[in-house]
Amino acid sequence: MSMPAKRLRIGVLFGGRSAEHDVSLLSAANVMAALDPAKYDAVPIFVTREGQW
């Protein structure tokens, strides 16, 4: 009997004070959707337009 593989926890940082704020939101959603949940535990980290985490 083998042990289940441990998932790698990663942070997906998006948003921020850039003019590309909205593009960043879409990119983060696509990245998180593309990650294999059997291998990765993705933690979204949102930054507002004002720079608040």
Cα Rg, the chain, nearest whole Å: 14
**pLDDT attached to residue 1:** 60
Tens of pLDDT, residue by residue over 1-53, are 666 679 999 999 999 999 999 999 999 999 999 999 999 999 999 999 999 99
Kindly report the three-state secondary structure assignment for every residue of the chain: CCCCCCCEEEEEEEECCCCCHHHHHHHHHHHHHHCCCCCEEEEEEEECCCCCC
Q: Does the predicted TM-score (pTM) go above 0.85?
A: no
